[in-house]
Structure 1
Amino acid sequence: MVDPTTAPLFGVVLHLALAFGLGALIGLEREQSKSGGTFAGSRTFPLLALYGALVQAFFPDALAIAIAALVVPLTVAYVGKVVSEGDIGLTTLLAALVTVLLGALSMHSDRGAIVAIVVGGSVTILLSVKDPIHEFADRIEERERRASAKFILVALVVLPALPDRSVDMLHGLNPRFVWLMVVFVTGLGFVAYVLGRIVGPERGIALTGILGGFVSSTATTVSMAGKTIGNETLYHVCGFAVVTASIVMFPRALVEVAVVNPRLAPSVALPLGGMTVVGAIAAAALYWWTTAEQTVEPDRLKNPFRLRPALLFGAVFAVVLLVSEYATEWFGSSGLYATAFFSGLADVDAMTITVSQLASQGAVSTPVATTAIVIAAIANTLVKVALVWILGTRRLGTLVSAVLGVVIVSGLVFLAL
């Protein structure tokens, strides 16, 4: 805690300046957006932040009482705003209370100051994107909202109830870890889904591939391949979308490794990063090759927050985890590589997380884990090539095979380095 009686004067002033700055940032946003109205603006919010900072600095035990004392004047001001302007929104009122807490955090400690900066910036961004958020909410159908609510409810209820230990009945699986990974992988897809719905269906072929790759690269491949059957001249632009969706899988896998086992990430970063760079260069060349008149209407992204696909991924992940453990125990690294290849044909996420977990437990070495993840990624890339040949045209198959073939070879080269 920053003790004003012992801390250098410069340090105290610096923390007070931070509180003032965060309050001013939020206040300017409220005034510029005219959302605060007569309630609060660019002068009131800095004062609220300083109020919280000074109370925390000199009367920390009275912080709760000081915040409670603000409720009365803030409520009176809010009621006056409702009466005079007819606006019953609570956003500015809540932002005022959060600003007081940010001021207190700024003065609490150096760590608190960092948290205040992060939260203050996030609050400002959240307040400033009111219209896009409302537009996004309007685009979501009732069925999708119910599916999301059901998934979130199940995730929040089920996760704490699951045992955080190996269960003999489940052959040593940790149920909480399995479900946590389900929520994590689904959350990655949901972020891309939200971005896709915000930018709208006119987002363009580049974002179609990128966002589609994060939500489901396989679904994007199937969609683009099918479009070339009706119009063969679209093979350039559809091929670009397939290639982009396929290479997005590599940084996605790298994110998963970094979350599950950060120590493995540097080793995996070279082959996956190399494949991403080579694929991005190839995709850029392919994009340059397409003409401005070539357009394709992308299919709407599906909401990943659905219970049935999540449960299916959980089952696949659990099976892959068990098979990988037994294959490694019985057949060594060759057994893990075979498992990685066959599981990668269906889902690269499950294998990536599984191998990362095994490496964190010391069950496999870092080189073996890296090789297994790359094998799974290559297997999944081969699936994309097969799908465009089966569901698309010969031109699309030839184009995608050439580009992704170079990506696969580059992955093997980087792996051998």
Structure 2
Amino acid sequence: MVDPLTDPLTEVLFHLLVGVTLGALVGLEREQSESGGTFAGSRTFPLFALYGALVGAFFPRALPIALGLLVVPLTVAYAGKVWHEQDLGLTTLMAALLTAVLGATAMHSDSGAVTAIIVGGGVTVLLSVKERIHGFADQFDETERLATAKFILVALVVLPALPGRSLDVLYGLNPRFIWLMVVFVTGLGFVAYVLGRFLGPTRSIAVTGIIGGFVSSTATTVSMAEKATQNEGLHHVCAFAVVIASIVMFPRALIEVAVVNPRLLPRVAVPLGVMTLVGIVAAGALYWHTRTDETVQPDELRNPFRLRSALLFGAIFAVVLLVSESAHEWLGTSGIYATAFLSGLADVDAMTITLSKLAAEGTISTQVATTGIVIAATANTFLKAALAWVLGTYRLGRLVSLVLGVVVASGLVLVAV
């Protein structure tokens, strides 16, 4: 007796249902938003999916021809839409072609069906948030668009063109690896920046601190210190934002370790994870004592990617990498720790990536790498407290120092045992 769950016909029908359902989902969205107009809607899009699914299942070699033939009536319909409605938008036309492809993808295999579901869901969401996306795009001025274009340039054009090997003229450094880390670190801040702009100015102070921590925790600390100076009554909420931005540095470092040296992650995750948890609890206690009427308007986020800043980070990373290797060779473990502390005052990312790389190459032990990363994070945390004292008020500096001091102590205790 044939098991209905493994019957080939049942499997084909299931995949066919997936494809048609995705077509119906996109069609409903197009009709509800009235973007399809007289072009296509809740009935036509399932037919596009069915067309692609049947051709993909039974005539896979003819799929390119079938899609080409589909372009003909779509072009005629699009021309009529432009003529009658004066609408030049291509979104619905592209959605129709993509729906046919999704139908064929759903019929390809089980993994193809899963892929079609993921892509189809993403397409539906993308189509349904039209106004939000246009509003988000309108927030960018010319400077922001130029900075974004530069980021795409260095990530997709410059990176592949760099040599992917160690060069004697650069003292054994690998240019592509250096620039890859530049793209990676600036990319973390860039993603946080985009998220912050998407959320808009109404985001909470906690979200502001988190986003600020990924974009620039130092800039967030300076901003909050200035606000506390302008209004001393805001010292609690400003301290909360500084603490949140500071502890974001720890999971950010864990992300960097996971990318550069995944084997080091379990070791580093213990102290940095505990520091993060202690920081969250301490920040929660700080927020609990914040008066409900204490609010602070977050500053306008600036695109964190600047070509000069990217080049500067690349130079700092290269120097830190060379100095760390030399310090270890000349002074041993103490040289690594001294370099970690001094480097951490300026940039934790460079030292975190450097130690992760050295540990991956076997130049230093995982214990030394872990301790060095915690020392770098500790030095940078001390810097945040110092900025709160110097640029802010006495009460802000005291609160930030107390909370971050507890966080740092928890990490140092763990690496010392």
Is the TM-score greater than 0.5? yes
| Residues in 1 aligned to 2:111 and 2:328: alpha-carbon distance in whole angstroms | 43
Matched, 1:43 2:14: no
- Residue of structure 2 in register with 1:388 after alignment: 388
| Residues in 1 aligned to 2:67 and 2:269: alpha-carbon distance in whole angstroms | 47
Matched, 1:17 2:17: yes
Q: Which moved more, 1:236-245 or 1:312-321?
A: 312-321
Do 2:53 and 2:104's aligned partners in 1 also have CA atoms closer than 8 Å? Answer: yes
Q: Which moved more, 1:80-89 or 1:156-165?
A: 80-89
- Residue of structure 2 in register with 1:371 after alignment: 371
- Residue of structure 1 in register with 2:238 after alignment: 238
- Residue of structure 2 in register with 1:207 after alignment: 207
* 1:376 CA drift (Å): 1.5
| TM-score using structure 2 length | 0.93
- Residue of structure 1 in register with 2:175 after alignment: 175
| Residues in 2 aligned to 1:320 and 1:189: alpha-carbon distance in whole angstroms | 21
Aligned AA (2:284): A
SS at match of 1:163: coil
The 5 Å alignment of 1:299-378 reads: 299-378=299-378
The 5 Å alignment of 1:123-202 reads: 123-202=123-202
* 1:7 CA drift (Å): 8.1
SS at match of 2:248: helix
* 1:131 CA drift (Å): 1.5
| Residues in 2 aligned to 1:379 and 1:242: alpha-carbon distance in whole angstroms | 16
| Residues in 2 aligned to 1:329 and 1:103: alpha-carbon distance in whole angstroms | 60
Structure 1: 4+ residue segments shifted above 6 A:
none
| Residues in 2 aligned to 1:217 and 1:208: alpha-carbon distance in whole angstroms | 11
SS at match of 1:212: helix
| Residues in 1 aligned to 2:372 and 2:113: alpha-carbon distance in whole angstroms | 42
Q: Which moved more, 1:65-74 or 1:362-371?
A: 362-371
Do 2:193 and 2:303's aligned partners in 1 also have CA atoms closer than 8 Å? Answer: yes
Deviations 1:5-40 (A, max 9, x none): x98333333332332233233223222322222222
Aligned AA (2:246): S
Q: Which moved more, 1:356-365 or 1:311-320?
A: 356-365
SS at match of 2:39: coil
Pick closer, same or farther for the CA change 1:63–1:295 going to 2, 3 Å: same
- Residue of structure 2 in register with 1:88 after alignment: 88
Pick closer, same or farther for the CA change 1:48–1:271 going to 2, 3 Å: farther
Deviations 1:90-116 (A, max 9, x none): 112112222222222222233333333
Pick closer, same or farther for the CA change 1:200–1:338 going to 2, 3 Å: same
Q: Which moved more, 1:386-395 or 1:94-103?
A: 94-103
- Residue of structure 2 in register with 1:267 after alignment: 267
Pick closer, same or farther for the CA change 1:62–1:132 going to 2, 3 Å: same
| Residues in 1 aligned to 2:43 and 2:263: alpha-carbon distance in whole angstroms | 47
Pick closer, same or farther for the CA change 1:24–1:409 going to 2, 3 Å: farther
- Residue of structure 2 in register with 1:298 after alignment: 298
Aligned AA (2:215): V
- Residue of structure 1 in register with 2:76 after alignment: 76
Q: Which moved more, 1:260-269 or 1:167-176?
A: 260-269
* 1:310 CA drift (Å): 1.1
| Residues in 2 aligned to 1:347 and 1:118: alpha-carbon distance in whole angstroms | 38
Do 2:105 and 2:115's aligned partners in 1 also have CA atoms closer than 8 Å? Answer: yes
- Residue of structure 2 in register with 1:3 after alignment: none
* 1:405 CA drift (Å): 0.8
Pick closer, same or farther for the CA change 1:416–1:49 going to 2, 3 Å: farther
Aligned AA (2:16): L
| Residues in 2 aligned to 1:23 and 1:323: alpha-carbon distance in whole angstroms | 58
SS at match of 2:133: helix
The 5 Å alignment of 1:402-413 reads: 402-413=402-413
| Residues in 2 aligned to 1:346 and 1:295: alpha-carbon distance in whole angstroms | 30
| Residues in 2 aligned to 1:7 and 1:320: alpha-carbon distance in whole angstroms | 61
Pick closer, same or farther for the CA change 1:269–1:14 going to 2, 3 Å: farther
* 1:331 CA drift (Å): 3.3
| Residues in 2 aligned to 1:270 and 1:43: alpha-carbon distance in whole angstroms | 55
- Residue of structure 2 in register with 1:52 after alignment: 52
Pick closer, same or farther for the CA change 1:163–1:80 going to 2, 3 Å: same
- Residue of structure 1 in register with 2:26 after alignment: 26
Aligned AA (2:235): Y
Deviations 1:208-254 (A, max 9, x none): 21111110000000111111112111111110110010011111111
Do 2:251 and 2:276's aligned partners in 1 also have CA atoms closer than 8 Å? Answer: yes
| Residues in 1 aligned to 2:353 and 2:27: alpha-carbon distance in whole angstroms | 43
Pick closer, same or farther for the CA change 1:33–1:373 going to 2, 3 Å: farther
| TM-score using structure 1 length | 0.93
- Residue of structure 2 in register with 1:224 after alignment: 224
Pick closer, same or farther for the CA change 1:297–1:83 going to 2, 3 Å: same
| Residues in 1 aligned to 2:404 and 2:63: alpha-carbon distance in whole angstroms | 60
| Residues in 2 aligned to 1:39 and 1:232: alpha-carbon distance in whole angstroms | 60
Cα RMSD over matched residues? Answer: 2.0
* 1:416 CA drift (Å): 4.8
Pick closer, same or farther for the CA change 1:203–1:101 going to 2, 3 Å: same
Aligned AA (1:356): S
| Residues in 2 aligned to 1:161 and 1:295: alpha-carbon distance in whole angstroms | 48
SS at match of 2:37: coil
Pick closer, same or farther for the CA change 1:37–1:362 going to 2, 3 Å: farther
| Residues in 2 aligned to 1:115 and 1:173: alpha-carbon distance in whole angstroms | 40
Q: Which moved more, 1:135-144 or 1:21-30?
A: 21-30
Q: Share of identical aligned residues, percent?
A: 73
| Residues in 2 aligned to 1:413 and 1:21: alpha-carbon distance in whole angstroms | 56
Do 2:154 and 2:183's aligned partners in 1 also have CA atoms closer than 8 Å? Answer: no
| Residues in 1 aligned to 2:39 and 2:329: alpha-carbon distance in whole angstroms | 66
